[in-house]
Every structure is written in structure tokens, then in C-alpha cells.
Structure 1
């Protein structure tokens, strides 16, 4: 009798196991365990000092790569004694080709873009090594930006001085293309606006100017008119 009960129990356990592994119950439980293990990992990262140590070591390594350029491309480690806050008027962009001077505000939220050119807060400031990113609306400040191309100049003036950039490349990219904001090995200015310029509604692409820093030599600006 005991043997029969034992065999029956074993049969039920095996049958139950087969049912469980071939139904959604198994999938649900597996996903739940992965989700919970992810929570544990995140909690460990938040509380384990070694996580922050490793993260800082990666940041230091990246910073060293940025700073270890040739003397020709070397820039001061910090040109700015104070960093701008969101919404601050931080300088102006002069476009010789268009004889236009435009205000630059820190941040690319709509509040800033409605007043002028926006500086992407996740990028470096103009004049610094790496990629300083500016953006503006195609139907306001940048409505004539399509006339600017390779070898044209862009001049940015901030509290740190006047920085002259020369356009090296013109790109047309998808609206969600994140390569516009990637780090650069030298001081670069990336200027972006929606494209096509005559498109009605939310434009699907971006017109992008990629310019490299020439220096802080002042150029003759002549007459300047705001768009």
C-alpha cells in the first residue's frame, strides 16, 4: 500500500513538473525571477562602494583620453570659472555667411529654443575639448542655415572668450540619430536644426553642421543683423 502511494505521489510530481515547464506559468516565474534579480543587482550597485569606484575609474580613464591630445589641439582643462544654469543666456552665435548674430541659451528645452539657439546641456561648453552641441528651430533662428556649408565659419562668444570654428562636414541624419551628440577627439561645434527646411509639421530629419575649432582669433564681423 505504501509503495502504491509513493508511486502515485511520484507520478503526480513528475506530471506536475512537466505541466509547469510547458505552460505560461514557467515563463511568468522565470521572468519574475529575472526581474527580481535585476532589482537585487541595482540595489547592490547603489550600496556597494566598489561599484562607484569602478564607475569613477572608467570616468577618469575617459577624461585622460580627452585631455591627452597633441599640443596643437590642447585646451585649458577649464575655460569657465562658473557653469551656466538651465535657461541662462550664455553667449551668442555669429554666422558670417548670413551676417547674423543669435543668442545662445543653456538647455534645448522649448523655453530656451523659443528665445534663440539652445545649448545641449549634456555637451561641453564652447571652446572646450569635445563636442559642444547647439540646436535651433528651422523656422526661426535657423531658417537660413541651409545656406551655410563646408569651409564657412561659425563664431561663438561666451564669458570665456570668442571661439572661431570652421565647418568641416555637413550631414543630413534621421531625427532620432544620436551620433550628433557623440564625443569628439578635439574641440568641435555641432549645430543642428530640423530638415527639410520647408517641411510642414514635425520634420523627419536634421541638418547638421560639424565644425572644428580654429582658435580665438577675432575675425572682422561687419554688419550684424539678428534673424
Structure 2
């Protein structure tokens, strides 16, 4: 009876490790699929951007790939997906439903996991650029400031429609194991479209 216990421990360990490896592979496959969809959506208009194209786009549904986020400093190219539910965030960067889109002159809110799409977000500094490519145009934002808030602080999302502002959020600290107690917020202003 005693000799079976170590085998049971080994079996459980291999099983748990297998689940972890599968989750990593699954998220990687989903983000790659979404990235390819985002590139196709952005390339569809061959650089012919206009308000007419934007007005003719159907409203995105939760889980739809809607655009591309480029972060040159950390060499990141990420799909933007409508929604911030866990399933949406496995595909890429989530667009907070109800927040605005580039060109709407309002607050654009994007969220992502610190251990997948935003793994190197902490390397960004004030003045670095964030680029959003949408089917109707390309938009460049410059980081103006950052902030760290408690995880339950929703005051950063005001959904104002006075000036265009990109807000990017992720969990903090970046190397925290488990549910992080804080959020890291990046604020950026529009510098070109």
C-alpha cells in the first residue's frame, strides 16, 4: 500500500503539469488566430480609410476581433477583441464594451492579462507610442502618464466624450502569482491619425 502513494503523487503532478501546458498552448493558439484575423481586417481596405467605411461597419459583438494594437518599444503586435470577459482576453487585448473607438473623441479602454499579451507592459515609459490599426484608419497615441490603483477601483473608466484618450489596463504587480491586488494603468493622448 505504501509503494502506491509515491506513484499517485507522481501521477497527480504529471496531470497538473499537463493541464498547465495545455492552457499555455491553447491561449497561444487563440491569440495567434485572433492576430491573423486582425491583420486581415486591417488590410481589407488597402489603406483606403474614411468615415464612410467606419459608418458602414456593423457594430462588433462580444468576442469579435476589431483591430490591431502595436507597441513598437516592446515589439508587440496584438489583436484587439471586443469585450473583457476571460474568454475574450484569451484571444488578445480586450476592448471595454461601452468605451469609445479611435476617432470617436472619447475614452478608449483596453485591457489585457499581464502574463500573456501585456507581459512587458511595465517596460514602457512616458513618451512611448501605442498604435491602433482599425479597418477605417490608423491612430497613434503617446503615453502621458501611468497610475497604479487597487483592483476594485473603477474610477479610471469614466467613458467621457470630451477628448480622445487611450487607457490601457492590466493587473499589477507584473510578476505576482495569483490574483493581483492592483491594476497598472497607462494613459495616452492622440498624436496622429
Contact 1:149 1:209 in 2 (8 A): no
In structure 2, runs of 5+ residues without a counterpart are 1-50
Task: Give yes or no for contact 2:149–2:183 (8 Å, CA) kept in 1.
Answer: yes
Counting only pairs closer than 5 Å after superposition, residues 49-198 of structure 1 correspond to structure 2 as 79-82=54-57, 83-184=59-160, 185-198=162-175
Does the 8 Å contact 1:108/1:119 carry over to 2?
yes
* Pair member with larger Rg: 1
Indicate the structure with greater strand content.
2
Task: Give me the whole-angstrom Cα distance separating, in 1, the residues matched to 2:130 and 2:56.
Answer: 24
- Give the corresponding residue for 1:57: none
Aligned residue pairs: how many?
Answer: 141
If the length of structure 2 is used for normalisation, what is the TM-score? 0.69
- In structure 2, do the counterparts of structure 1 residues 80 and 212 end up closer, same or farther at CA, with 3 Å as the change threshold? farther
d(CA) in 2 for partners of 1:127, 1:202: 34
5+ long unaligned stretches in structure 1: 1-75, 217-227
What's the CA shift string for 1:127-162, capped at 9, x where partnerless? 321101000000000010000121110000011210
For the 8 Å contact 1:127–1:213, the answer to whether it is kept is no
Aligned to 1:208: 185
Q: Displacement of 1:177 after TM fit? A: 1.0
Query: Relative CO higher for 1 or 2, CA cutoff 8 Å, sep ≥ 6?
Result: 2
Q: Is the 8 A contact 1:79 1:127 kept in 2?
A: no
Q: Corresponding residue for 2:11?
A: none
C-alpha RMSD over aligned residues: 1.7
